[in-house]
Amino acid sequence: MLRKLLEEGYLNAHRILLKEQVRLNIKPDDIVVLSALISLYEKKRNTLSMSALSKMTTLTPSRTGEVFNHLLEQGFVSTELELKSDGKEKEVFSLDLFFEKVTNLLMLDIEQTKNQKHDQDISYIIQHLEKALNKSLSPYDLEIIKEWFTESFSRVQIEKAVEVALDHHRKTVSYIDRVLRSNDIYEKDLDDKKRETIDKLIRGVK
């Protein structure tokens, strides 16, 4: 999805290139030429011409060729021969490798953000439970909490389960775990009949 957004111009590839130049380990002249290639790509022009590419930069055709070859070596661009309608071949460039590198960086950022939020949610839930249950959590309790997040229960779902447990005057993590795994907690409001059903489901939990 991210790659498609890049390729279709919904994400500004020029801006991302400048922002991520350190992580991409790319030099100033490389940025200039690659940015020019991106501009050509955005105009649906992929025919490779060093003289035309040079005119879009402040570099000489010779230097532009050197930088382009460096981009090839570094895996930012690739080239191939394409057959024209008149039967002749032309050399074209592709930015697939560049888009792949940028996509990988963006996905890494997203994953790190998710991990940070995940850690924050775990810390919040532990503090919330200790306050709600009025006691320190045991290693067994912490193991159960870890399983909740491993199984992708959300913070909101866990908070709802805690509310149900407190409504039933049952202050144990094992009881909350049983409530969390019942379907009834997904309802915004629980009527007396539903509360009775949940109570029966978890009555055996101490």
Tell me which CATH code domain 2-101 carries.
Answer: 1.10.10.10
Tell me the C-alpha distance between 56 and 33, whole Å: 8
| 92 φ/ψ angles, rounded to the nearest 5 degrees | -125, 160
Q: Which long-range contacts (CB under 8 A, 24 or more apart) does 139-143 make?
A: 140/173, 141/173
Tell me the C-alpha distance between 105 and 194, whole Å: 47
Q: E-strand spans in the chain?
A: 78-83, 89-94
Q: Residue 107's pLDDT is what? A: 86
Report residue 190's pLDDT band, with 50, 70 and 90 as the boundaries.
very low
Concatenate the DSSP letters of all residues of 29-63 into one string. HHHHHHHHHHHHHHTT--B--HHHHHHTSSS-HHH
Tell me the C-alpha distance between 76 and 92, whole Å: 14
pLDDT tens track for 70-94: 999 999 999 999 888 888 888 999 9
Tokens 């991302």, residue? Answer: 16
pLDDT tens track for 146-177: 888 888 888 899 999 999 999 988 989 999 99
Map residue 10 onto helix, strand or coil: coil
Residues in the chain: 206
Which amino acid appears at position 191 of this protein?
D
Count of C-beta atoms within a 10 Å radius of residue 134 = 8
Q: Residue 186's pLDDT is what? A: 47
Count of C-beta atoms within a 10 Å radius of residue 190 = 17
Which residues of the chain form CATH 1.10.10.10?
Answer: 2-101
Average per-residue pLDDT for the chain: 84
Beta bridge partners of 92: 47, 80
Average pLDDT for 136-142: 88
52 Cα distance to chain centroid: 37
